[in-house]
Structure 1
């Protein structure tokens, strides 16, 4: 059975634009997924990247065109200037880590719900009530927002170190169990084709 390690940030618009396609691809190929939220901002200086507010104007201008185009292409709503961006990604990441450990809900729906809260609903995912709503909507116990915080913090930090050591430099980033790497929501079709033995 194939396996995919999914490295992502709960603040990334590109992770939002991935929607639930990863889960659909995994289901089609009988693959499992390990969700690995990590601190993308902390990874940038270690892997040659820059946060949005430090990038050259030509890059930010391109981003301003590309994100709405990709959203339109996917038929997904997108608020290009959300009210709560950037915000603290750690609490939502801890909740995802706790939910993955607890089981019982739809992890892909939780991840997408948190991303949608940022990029569509103008909600602050650093707030407990927002995290609880997302947990509930995905079929998890909302109390997970308050559980396993130390373990969540440790796993979140470990995910960053693992990401850097394995060559992850952006998000979304997908790594198969045989080491094939796919960066960006626009490479999900390639991941699909690879799992099908076509690439």
Structure 2
């Protein structure tokens, strides 16, 4: 089956602004998606990126303008300075990994719901109750916040290693089975076109 590896961090406002367009594109073309939450700070360190806190002020000012522009363009609510950012991305990432393994719910909606909780609802997505609410809302067991923590940690690390090997350097990042790579929510229309041309 045709396939997309979706590398992302739950802390990324750009992944949040992607909304559910990836899922819509995948459904349109009959493509399977594997969700691969990763450690974005490790990705920056290993691929020559710069952590947000270490970027020049001009870059961060431009980032802020772009976030507001894209939020308006896409009609997606976004607080560019959320109350709980940055937070620890690991608990939410582990829950996504556990949910993907468990199946039975809407994984794409879960991923978007967690990011929306951070970027539009002023919630701390490192907290078990916030994660549990999102799991339950999208058809998964709240118990996934606690089960499979060791496996989640191992998979999270493996996803990060795989991302570096695959050429990933930011979030969101989409890679097709023919190694076509697309970085950023503003490249989703190009991913759509690529899948449609094959």
Taking structure 2 as the reference length, what is the TM-score of the superposition?
0.99
- Residue 97 of structure 2 is matched in structure 1 by 97
For residues 23-43 of structure 1, the C-alpha deviation after alignment (integer angstroms, 9 at most, x for no partner) is 000000000000000000111
User: What is the alpha-carbon distance in structure 1 between the residues aligned to residue 71 and residue 28 of structure 2?
Assistant: 24
Q: Counterparts in 2 of 1:1-199, with a 5 A limit?
A: 1-197=1-197
User: What is the alpha-carbon distance in structure 1 between the residues aligned to residue 33 and residue 5 of structure 2?
Assistant: 6
For residues 23-71 of structure 1, the C-alpha deviation after alignment (integer angstroms, 9 at most, x for no partner) is 0000000000000000001110111111111101111010010001001
Unaligned 5+ runs, structure 2: none
User: What is the alpha-carbon distance in structure 2 between the residues aligned to residue 17 and residue 64 of structure 1?
Assistant: 13
RMSD: 0.7
For residues 141-167 of structure 1, the C-alpha deviation after alignment (integer angstroms, 9 at most, x for no partner) is 111111100000000000000001111
Q: How many residues align?
A: 198
Please identify, of 80-89 and 50-59, the stretch whose mean Cα deviation from structure 2 is larger.
50-59
User: Equivalent residue of 1:186, what SS?
Assistant: helix
Q: Structure 1 residue runs of 4+, over 6 Å off?
A: none
User: What is the alpha-carbon distance in structure 2 between the residues aligned to residue 84 and residue 50 of structure 1?
Assistant: 21
User: What is the alpha-carbon distance in structure 1 between the residues aligned to residue 133 and residue 83 of structure 2?
Assistant: 18
